[in-house]
Amino acid sequence: MICVSIGRGRHKHLLAEHRHLVSEGAQLVELRLDYLKRNVNLQRLLKNRSGPIVATCRRTQDGGRWEGTEESRQMILRSAIAGGVDYVDLEEDIAATIPRYGSCQRIISLHDFRETPGNLEEIHQRLVALDADVVKIATMAHSPHDGVRMLRLVRNSEIPTVGICMGDIGTPTRILAGKFGAPFTYSTFHHERSLAPGQLSFQQMTDIYHYDKIDPETEVYGVIADPVGHSLSPIIHNQAFNELGLNKVYLPFRVPREDLRSFLLDCEELGIGGLSVTIPHKEDVISCIDEIDEATRKIGAVNTVIFRDGKKHGFNTDLPAAMASIAPMVQLRFGDSSMKNRRALILGAGGVAKTIAYGLVQQGADVVICSRTQAKSELLASQLECDVIDWDRRHNVEADLLVNGTPVGMHPQVDQTPFEKRGLRREMVVFDTIYNPEQTLLVKLARDAGCATATGVDMFVRQAALQFEIFTDREAPIEMMRSEFKRTIGAARQ
Tens digits of residue pLDDT in 43-64: 999 988 899 999 999 999 999 9
Asked if the model's pLDDT at residue 75 lies above 80, the reply is yes
Nearest in space to 26 (alpha carbons), one of 7, 46, 2, 54: 2
pLDDT at 48: 80
Q: Which residues contact 98 (CB under 8 A, 6 or more apart)?
A: 74, 77, 78, 81, 88, 90
pLDDT at 285: 96
CB hemisphere CA count around 292 (13 angstroms): 24
| Beta-sheet strands, E only, within 38-160 | 53-56, 87-91, 105-112, 134-140
Q: Sheet of 105-112: strands edge to edge?
A: 161-166, 134-140, 105-112, 87-91, 53-56, 28-32, 2-6, 185-188
Residue pLDDT, tens place only, 7-22: 999 999 999 999 999 9
CB distance 345 to 370 below 8 Å: yes
Asked if the model's pLDDT at residue 123 lies above 70, the reply is yes
Average pLDDT, integer, range 148-156: 98
Residue 335 CA to residue 90 CA, distance in Å, equals: 72
Length of the chain: 494
Residues that are catalytic? 111, 136, 282, 318
Residue pLDDT, tens place only, 360-405: 999 999 999 999 999 999 999 999 999 999 999 999 999 999 999 9
CB distance 273 to 471 below 8 Å: yes
Q: Sheet of 304-308: strands edge to edge?
A: 248-254, 219-225, 272-277, 304-308, 311-315, 291-292
pLDDT at 220: 98
Residue 290 CA to residue 249 CA, distance in Å, equals: 25
Residue 351 CA to residue 354 CA, distance in Å, equals: 5
Q: Which residues contact 444 (CB under 8 A, 6 or more apart)?
A: none
Q: Which long-range contacts (CB under 8 A, 24 or more apart) does 60-65 make?
A: 62/91, 62/111, 63/111, 63/113, 63/196, 64/32, 64/34, 65/7, 65/32, 65/34, 65/35
Average pLDDT, integer, range 79-95: 97
Average pLDDT, integer, range 316-336: 96
Helix, strand or coil, per DSSP, at residue 284: helix
CB distance 101 to 123 below 8 Å: no
pLDDT above 70 as % of the chain = 99
Average pLDDT, integer, range 170-184: 98
CB distance 14 to 44 below 8 Å: no
Query: How high does pLDDT run on average in the chain?
Result: 95
Nearest in space to 167 (alpha carbons), one of 56, 253, 275, 281: 253
Give the residue, 490 or 76, on which the prediction is more confident: 76
CB distance 370 to 396 below 8 Å: no
pLDDT at 284: 94
Asked if the model's pLDDT at residue 493 lies above 60, the reply is no
Residue pLDDT, tens place only, 244-273: 999 999 999 999 999 999 999 999 999 999
CB distance 227 to 188 below 8 Å: no
Q: Which residues contact 125 (CB under 8 A, 6 or more apart)?
A: none
Residue pLDDT, tens place only, 451-461: 999 999 999 99
Q: Which residues contact 51 (CB under 8 A, 6 or more apart)?
A: 18, 22, 26, 27, 28, 29
CB distance 132 to 107 below 8 Å: yes
Strands 401-404 and 343-347: parallel
pLDDT at 195: 75
Q: Which residues contact 316 (CB under 8 A, 6 or more apart)?
A: 295, 296, 299, 301, 302, 303, 304, 355
Average pLDDT, integer, range 89-94: 97
- H-only helix segments in 347-440: 351-362, 374-384
491 pLDDT band, cuts 50/70/90, is low
Q: For the packed helices 351-362 and 374-384, what is the interaxial angle rounded to 10 degrees?
A: 30
Between the CA of residue 305 and those of 143, 270, 314, 461, 473, what are the distances in Å?
21, 15, 5, 18, 14
pLDDT above 90 as % of the chain = 92
pLDDT at 280: 92
Q: Which residues contact 241 (CB under 8 A, 6 or more apart)?
A: 248, 249, 250, 472
For residue 8, report the phi and psi dihedrals to the nearest 5 degrees: -135, 155
pLDDT at 190: 82
What burial class does residue 142 get, using C-beta atoms within 10 Å of its C-beta: 0-12 exposed, 13-18 middle, 19+ buried?
middle
Asked if the model's pLDDT at residue 494 lies above 50, the reply is no
